[in-house]
Each structure stands twice: as C-alpha cells, then as structure tokens.
Amino acid sequence: MVCRTLGVFALAALAAVALEVGCAPVSPFGEGFDVQGHRGTRARRPENTLPSFAEAMCIGVTTVELDVGVSKDGVVVVRHGRGLHPEITRGPDGRFIPAERVLISALTLAELRRFDVGRVRPGSRYAMGFPEVVPIDGTRIPTLEETIALVDPSRSGVRLNIETKISPEKPADTLPPDAFADAVIAVLRKTGALKYATLQSFDWRTLARAKAVAPEIPRVHLSHQAEANGALERRQTGAPPWFAGHDYDGSLPKLIASLEGAVWSPLYRDLDRESLREAQTLGLLVVPWTVNEPRDMDRLIEWGVDGLITDYPGRLNDVLRARGLPVPPAVAVEGAAGRSARCPPGGTAEVSN
C-alpha cells in the first residue's frame, strides 16, 4: 500500500527515490482502507475509555485511536490532553472538576482513578458537540496496558494508533519527550503490542525517540497547519518547535518522508489533492483527522486517502458501503478480568467497568 503510487511508475529513477525516502514495503494498517475510531468513538461513548473502545470495535474499525499521558508514578494512562478535561471529569464528590488544570503528570494512578470520566457535563460545549454520548457512570481512566488487553489486537485484528500528548511549549506539564516515548514503548514491548501499534504525535520529538529506540513501530506525523497548537501557518517555513527542530521548507510530505515517517495525518481541512498526491508519491500513507461529516468522508475517499480518523466510525462504514467498499467486521471484546462485552444488533457494546 505504501509503495503503490510509486509502483505505478516502474522506473529505476523513481525506485531510487523510493529508497532514498525510506518507502516501506508494508502498510502499518494492512491491506484496505483504515477506519480509525477516534478516542474509541467519542460521539457514542465517554471518550478514551474501555467502553468507548469496545463500542468502536462493535461498530467495526480497523484501528482504535487513543491519547496517552504518563502519571506521576510512571504509568501510561489513556487520556486526551495534558490535564483532565473539566467537561468530562467528575471528582469523588460527584461534581465536575473546576476549570483549573489538573495535570495527569501531577497525580499517581491511584489518584487518577478517583475521577469518574463516564459522563459529559450537561449544557457544556462538549455536550452540544456530541449530544449522543451514552453516559456510563463509574467509568475510570484506563491504563494503556488495560486498553491493549481489551482490544487484544492479536485476536481481534484491530490496531492501536497511540498519540503522545506532550507539548514543546509546555515542558513542565509532562515527562520530557524521550522518557515519555520510552514509557509508551515499554508498555508495547511488555504486552507484545508493538507490532500492532502506530505511534502518533504533533510533537515530533517523541517520534524521533521512537525511531531511535524502536524503529519497527510505524510513526504517524500529525499536523495542524492553520490553527493553534503551536503548529504552523500553511506557508510558514523554518523549524517550528513541534517539528523536533527540523527545518520546514513548505512541504510537509517532503519533510515527513525525509524523517522516514510511515503516515502523514493532517487536519482534514488542511489537505488538498496536490499535497495528498505528493505525500503518496513519496511513499507516505495519508490518514486525515477528524472527519465526521459523510460528505467530507466521501470526498476524501474519492481523492484516495488511505484511511480516516472519525468520531463516527458507523457513518464512515456507511459511506464505504455506499461505494461498494468493504468495511471492518464487528468484534465483540472480552476485556481484562471482570469485563465482558457483546455486540447486539446495531453495534452497542456493553462493558462493565
């Protein structure tokens, strides 16, 4: 898959280019279109939780996307952002936490487990954006290890796309990038999940570390060109801190290919056909985030993207079906001890937590 565009041009000169840019022989996502469930399925279940991953698998995904941080006592936990989100986090008193930031890195796993992350604050911006989230009170922040046990990629065939939530602009918020990447890779090695995972980040320093210590894990370079996050304006050049000190000459595909990345994941609105073609010609897979409207999904599939990250994997599967394309099978999960799941018609996973 990675080399398919180059394969069309079976010329010695282009083959040499492919070698130079590190064209990988095998797609990290296997054959076919990559249906990635964003934070499990953020639109249907409390994000980045075991019920959300189970639900995504019941709907049918090839990959679950998730975000990770590292607790004060060194445990890799699944959570978006460097701090707990006040619109989806309640304290032991049952109240949503105040807006002041509570850093994941400042709390031990035991302390993080006291929070309930199974409900969206009514009336919040988050609730308005995702009104169909089914609350599951009592849901706790999972560890990466528990998530791998639930997804069980060697049995289910479902992969993990793991994002390191770290910022070069907020060094005090997290472990340094090398230690952060090492912690994630240690879990992947311990669980045998390294060959079923990709590592993604906007902060490419963690990807550089992964390349040095675990080059076998495919690296996904995230980009966000037009908005905040310390990312870049479309035509900005130089070495943005998010790019691990690498100079940027205006072509993200060229830069990512030179770093031997496997995948470019741009914000979907940043992508145009020309950049897509350039990236694929350089041997990159292109998997935009986070695409929730069927018309955008359909357009990007028409353009030839290699996969999509979505809060609504069911919608994406409907779009694929309408095009006569295969969709991932529903997978019922038998999770970590004490958890069970089933996939009733309609794709509703029920996971005790």
Q: Is 265 one of the binding residues for ligand G3P (CB under 6 A)?
A: yes
Q: Is 49 one of the binding residues for ligand G3P (CB under 6 A)?
A: no
Judge whether 303 and 320 are in contact, CB under 8 Å: no
Q: Is 306 one of the binding residues for ligand G3P (CB under 6 A)?
A: no
Alpha carbons 348 and 353: distance in angstroms, whole number = 15
One of 55, 67, 146, 203 touching Ca ion (CB under 5 A): 67
Q: Which two tokens stand for residue 292?
A: 């929730």
Q: Is 47 one of the binding residues for Ca ion (CB under 5 A)?
A: no
Alpha carbons 238 and 260: distance in angstroms, whole number = 19
Alpha carbons 142 and 48: distance in angstroms, whole number = 8
Instruction: Provide the CA 190 distance to its chain's centre, in angstroms.
Output: 20
Q: Is 163 one of the binding residues for ligand G3P (CB under 6 A)?
A: yes
Judge whether 247 and 207 are in contact, CB under 8 Å: no
Q: Is 203 one of the binding residues for Ca ion (CB under 5 A)?
A: no
Q: Is 34 one of the binding residues for Ca ion (CB under 5 A)?
A: no
Which residue's CB is nearer to ligand G3P, number 34 or number 278? 34
Which residue's CB is nearer to ligand G3P, number 82 or number 343? 82
One of 23, 37, 52, 67 touching ligand G3P (CB under 6 A): 67
Radius of gyration from C-alpha coordinates of the chain: 19
User: What H or E segment, with its residue span, contains residue 70?
Assistant: strand 63-70
One of 145, 146, 163, 203 touching Ca ion (CB under 5 A): 163
Q: What is the contact mask toward ligand G3P in residues 74 to 113, using x (rule: CB under 6 A)?
A: ------x---------------------------------
Which residue's CB is nearer to Ca ion, number 287 or number 327? 287
Stretch that binds Ca ion, among 135-143, 158-166, 292-300, 338-346 (CB under 5 A): 158-166
Judge whether 145 and 191 are in contact, CB under 8 Å: yes
222 touches which of Ca ion, ligand G3P, none (CB within 5 to 8 A by kind)?
ligand G3P
Which residue's CB is nearer to ligand G3P, number 38 or number 211? 38
Ranges of beta strands (E only) in 158-262 are 159-164, 197-201, 219-223
Which residue's CB is nearer to Ca ion, number 68 or number 75? 68
Judge whether 5 and 257 are in contact, CB under 8 Å: no
One of 35, 37, 38, 218 touching ligand G3P (CB under 6 A): 38
Residue identified by tokens 């311990």 is 190
Q: What is the contact mask toward ligand G3P in residues 170 to 209, using x (rule: CB under 6 A)?
A: ------------------------------x---------
One of 300, 309, 319, 333 touching ligand G3P (CB under 6 A): 309
309 touches which of Ca ion, ligand G3P, none (CB within 5 to 8 A by kind)?
ligand G3P
Alpha carbons 185 and 179: distance in angstroms, whole number = 10
Q: What is the DSSP letter of 242?
A: G
CB of 38 to ligand G3P, least distance (A): 6
Give the closest residue to 239 by CA, choosing from 229, 224, 249: 249
Stretch that binds Ca ion, among 2-10, 163-171, 232-240, 339-347 (CB under 5 A): 163-171
Q: What is the DSSP letter of 198?
A: E
Which residue's CB is nearer to Ca ion, number 6 or number 271? 271
CA atoms within 13 A on the CB side of 157: 13
Residue identified by tokens 């350089």 is 282
Q: Letter for the amino acid at 19?
A: L
Judge whether 116 and 137 are in contact, CB under 8 Å: yes
Q: Which residues make up the interface to ligand G3P (CB under 6 A)?
A: 38, 65, 67, 80, 163, 200, 222, 265, 289-290, 309
